[in-house]
């Protein structure tokens, strides 16, 4: 293992002064370390944005690198192939290896991408190297030497990072936030909409929903980060008689913010989109999102939602959900939530298979 500080410093010594990315817990250390130094790290909403920001930095003459979870390769393949490779912009990308080498030891949403990651990069002709958990600075330096040759040849190499290959960084002091516990917010919403179909976004939110309010009408969308509201839109359009509640995260909502405009355009009367906004990617270690400078209610209204409001306490949230149920949507409710304390509940897929989640959701939707 190499420390987070060594990882960043070795890259900085080689002139890599700019980084961007979307968090994976594998990169929690470097992101935390870089975030203490203004201008070193650009938190991107999705992996394609991260690569494009790095490409712009390279166009501007800087050396830049990107960090991401391999589940986000799909978001990055388009700017990789059509921007970075087409214009031969030299970017170094670090991707984690969730679901590899043994997919069975990871969550089900990594089972396809884990064993496919190397092959996907091979298929587009991207050079790649694997940094193993047991590797130290010497091996990291060898990999960077090889990657530097690729960059000099105007190719865009990848370093695939096994779990435990990079250390964590010291915890940072943060301001004391205000808001609701996410489990309380979830209970208020689900108690107020007992007959709704509920789509829960990936990460801790799905785990909280499973712990607080499991029921057949819940769809735990592990993976597919940022697509909960689009999935909810599809369900809402297919079943206009059913209230559909989407429990989203701020990081996830930002990842595919264009979904707001699609929802505004389709304007399903039966959709209530709730964003649990803790201003961090809590599920991957608490890295900041950019929701602090983004008003979800203003964005939703501008995108065509019928109503949108923000709340930071239980009564206001209950009233907002009751109002949303009583009038045609789509509605957006943005709830300021607190970082979780205590143990995080187990994943739905510890108890239910993805098939089982789908089947009972569909049965509930069809009323049998």
Ligand X SMILES: Cc1ncc(C[n+]2csc(CCOP(=O)(O)OP(=O)(O)O)c2C)c(N)n1
Query: Using CB under 6 A as the criterion, which residues of the chain lie in contact with ligand X when the complex forms?
Result: 22-24, 69, 71-72, 75, 201-205, 223, 225, 249-252, 278, 280-284, 289
Q: In the complex with ligand X, which residue's Cβ is closer, 144 or 160?
A: 160
CB-nearest residue to ligand X: 249
User: By the 8 A CB rule, do 159 and 20 touch?
Assistant: no
CB of 10 to ligand X, least distance (A): 24
Q: In the complex with ligand X, which residue's Cβ is closer, 72 or 90?
A: 72
User: By the 8 A CB rule, do 268 and 260 touch?
Assistant: no
Which residues, 6 or more positions from 295, have their beta carbon under 8 angstroms from its beta carbon? 310, 334
Q: In the complex with ligand X, which residue's Cβ is closer, 20 or 202?
A: 202
Q: In the complex with ligand X, which residue's Cβ is closer, 144 or 276?
A: 276
CB of 146 to ligand X, least distance (A): 26
Judge if the upstream peptide bond of residue 332 is cis by omega within 30 degrees of 0.
no
Q: In the complex with ligand X, which residue's Cβ is closer, 212 or 365?
A: 212
CB of 136 to ligand X, least distance (A): 26
CB of 54 to ligand X, least distance (A): 16
CB of 203 to ligand X, least distance (A): 3
Q: In the complex with ligand X, which residue's Cβ is closer, 79 or 203?
A: 203
Q: In the complex with ligand X, which residue's Cβ is closer, 258 or 328?
A: 258
Which residues, 6 or more positions from 210, have their beta carbon under 8 angstroms from its beta carbon? 200, 218, 220, 345, 346, 347, 348, 351
**DSSP-derived 3-state class of residue 79:** helix
* DSSP output for 135-146: --HHHHHHHHHH
d(CA 90, CA 66): 11
Beta strands in 255-365 (DSSP E): 271-277, 280-281, 287-288, 307-311, 331-338
CB of 45 to ligand X, least distance (A): 10
Q: In the complex with ligand X, which residue's Cβ is closer, 254 or 303?
A: 254
d(CA 98, CA 114): 6
Q: Which long-range contacts (CB under 8 A, 24 or more apart) does 218-222 make?
A: 218/348, 218/357, 218/361, 219/357, 219/358, 219/361, 220/347, 220/348, 220/349, 220/352, 220/357, 222/107, 222/108, 222/109, 222/347, 222/348, 222/349, 222/354
CB of 327 to ligand X, least distance (A): 27
**DSSP-derived 3-state class of residue 244:** strand
User: By the 8 A CB rule, do 107 and 81 touch?
Assistant: no
User: By the 8 A CB rule, do 248 and 275 touch?
Assistant: yes
CB of 98 to ligand X, least distance (A): 8
CB of 314 to ligand X, least distance (A): 19
Alpha carbons within 13 angstroms on the beta-carbon side of residue 353 total 4
Q: In the complex with ligand X, which residue's Cβ is closer, 135 or 250?
A: 250
CA 212 vs. chain centroid, Å, equals 22
Judge if the upstream peptide bond of residue 164 is cis by omega within 30 degrees of 0.
no
Strand pairing report for 331-338 and 180-181: parallel
Q: How many CB atoms lie within 10 A of CB 86?
A: 10
Q: In the complex with ligand X, which residue's Cβ is closer, 157 or 249?
A: 249
CB of 223 to ligand X, least distance (A): 6
């Amino acid at each position: 293992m190499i420390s987070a500080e060594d990882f960043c410093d070795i890259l900085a010594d080689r002139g890599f002064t700019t980084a961007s990315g979307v968090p994976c817990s594998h990169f929690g250390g470097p992101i935390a370390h870089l975030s203490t130094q203004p201008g070193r790290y650009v938190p991107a909403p999705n992996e394609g944005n991260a690569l494009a920001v790095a490409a712009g930095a390279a166009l501007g003459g800087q050396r830049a690198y990107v960090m991401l979870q391999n589940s986000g390769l799909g978001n990055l393949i388009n700017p990789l192939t059509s921007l970075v490779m087409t214009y031969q912009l030299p970017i170094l990308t670090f991707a984690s290896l969730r679901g590899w080498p043994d997919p069975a030891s990871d969550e089900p949403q990594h089972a396809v991408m884990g064993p496919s990651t190397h092959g996907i990069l091979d298929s587009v002709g991207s050079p790649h190297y694997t940094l193993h958990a047991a590797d130290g600075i010497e091996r990291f330096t060898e990999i960077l030497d090889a990657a530097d040759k690729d960059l000099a040849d105007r190719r865009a190499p990848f370093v695939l990072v096994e779990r435990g290959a990079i250390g964590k960084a010291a915890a940072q002091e943060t301001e004391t936030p205000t808001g609701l516990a996410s489990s309380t917010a979830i209970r208020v919403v689900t108690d107020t909409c007992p007959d709704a179909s509920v789509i829960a976004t990936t990460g801790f939110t799905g785990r909280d929903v499973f712990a607080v309010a499991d029921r057949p009408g819940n769809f735990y969308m592990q993976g597919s980060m940022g697509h909960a509201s689009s999935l909810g839109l599809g369900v809402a359009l297919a079943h206009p008689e059913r209230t559909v509640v989407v429990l989203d995260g701020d990081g996830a909502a930002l990842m595919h913010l264009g979904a707001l405009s699609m929802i505004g355009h389709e304007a399903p009367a039966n959709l209530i989109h709730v964003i649990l906004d803790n201003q961090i990617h809590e599920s991957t270690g608490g890295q900041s999102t950019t929701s602090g400078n983004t008003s979800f209610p203003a964005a939703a209204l501008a995108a065509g939602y019928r109503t949108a409001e923000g709340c930071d306490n239980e009564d206001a949230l209950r009233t907002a959900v009751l109002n949303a149920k009583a009038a045609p949507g789509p509605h957006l409710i943005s709830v300021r939530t607190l970082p979780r304390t205590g143990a995080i509940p187990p994943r739905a897929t510890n108890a239910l298979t993805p098939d089982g989640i789908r089947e009972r959701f569909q049965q509930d939707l069809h009323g049998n």
